[in-house]
Structure 1
Amino acid sequence: MKEKNFLIAGSILSADLLNLERDVKEALDVGVDVIHFDVMDYHFVPNMTFGPAFLKAMRKKFPNAVFDVHLMVTPVTENIVDDYAKAGASWISFHPEACVHTERMLTHIQEMGIKAGIALNPSTPPQMLRYLWDKLDFVLVMTVNPGFGGQSTIPATLTKVSDIKAMAKAENRDILIEVDGGVKSSNIKEISSFGAEVFVVGSAFFGTADKKAALSSLHSALA
């Protein structure tokens, strides 16, 4: 069987908040590749979620899981990054608008052995990436405005995915492009055609009664 060339990241923002351990276990058991943590501070975005203590507890329960921490906080400081790194993050991304020294922070993340990423809001241009390629493991393209689950993909953001793909190719850089926002089985194939390889799926996975069938539908659409 051909090895799949994509990753599905389940966003626990859309899981049952009273039964997160159960839902994360079920996600991993059925074959979700990555567990996506949306960290919000009620300031950068109008919501609040998931401190490092929660991640630490999840890491203890699921020692082999890939935990993708998306920091939607301001300011992004080394102390915050360190807290999530120590708690068990596998990947950490943050928004350049929330960090004074973006290159330094990416370097700091990589020096801890964690994949480092930049998250781009729908209106954030990707041109800044040309100065950061050697510090980037992945780019997270927000295809909705951050803060809440269940939104529909903003079509114009998909062009940004293809722009980043072309920019990386021109610089001979092999980085992952992750998309977050409105991803579901009916549009994941189209989104992948723009160059995305990691797909954050929230309500289209955790909001379903049969998670195995939901993941199979996503896989089939990408096959």
Structure 2
Amino acid sequence: MTTRRVNLNTESVDNYLKAIFAIGGQEEERVTSNALAERLGVAPASITNMLQKLAASSPPLVEYERHRGVRLSAAGRRRALEVLRHHRLLETFLYEVLEYPLEEVHDEAERLEHFISERFEERIAAKLGHPKFDPHGHCIPEMDGRMPKQVSRPLTDIEQDGKFLVDSVSDQDPLLLKQLKAHGITPGARLQVTSLSQEEFVLRAGNNSRALRLSRTLAGAVRIRSAD
């Protein structure tokens, strides 16, 4: 087999590695081409072509078998976590220092994450006091690639009412994020779910006495943990 070199600094490669990590999770489950195509908005044929290149690069960035899906190699995981660290530090800097609205920091960080130097990354981290979480509640990887596992579950997974804490909110859809923020549903907020159905969740957020009705789509953007 001919070894093909893939430029580790290209935005496209970084986006593929991040997407595989996001879908596969820290358990590193295999990710299907269809799942990648949906997340990246790319045609399945293009997905297959890129995965073949990433698998044939030196060193290989993924382990890919047609019809069995893909997962990151050790080198691919290191690169994915490095870019993820850049992204989440940038989000935190934009939010806390430059006072960007929460729903805008993800897209801005997406544009910047590929181009900052390691020295610049270190200066941002020091300026922020070496934060552990970004504004959405997601863990920021350490410089050595370590990242604690967050024990949380989607709000849509609960089967009965109760009290919960918001662990994190999805950064993938600015409109949903803006709606959640307007309802007071942000990382660390307390939720009291009073009823749930296939269509919606009825709850109160924080000290707000007014009941909120969240669609399943909106609830799906929220991860929670027990308030006990």
| Range class of TM-score, shorter chain | under 0.3
In our comparison, the structure showing a higher alpha carbon Rg is 2
Which structure has more relative contact order (CA 8 Å, sep 6+)? It is: 1
TM-score w.r.t. the length of structure 2 is 0.23
TM-score w.r.t. the length of structure 1 is 0.24
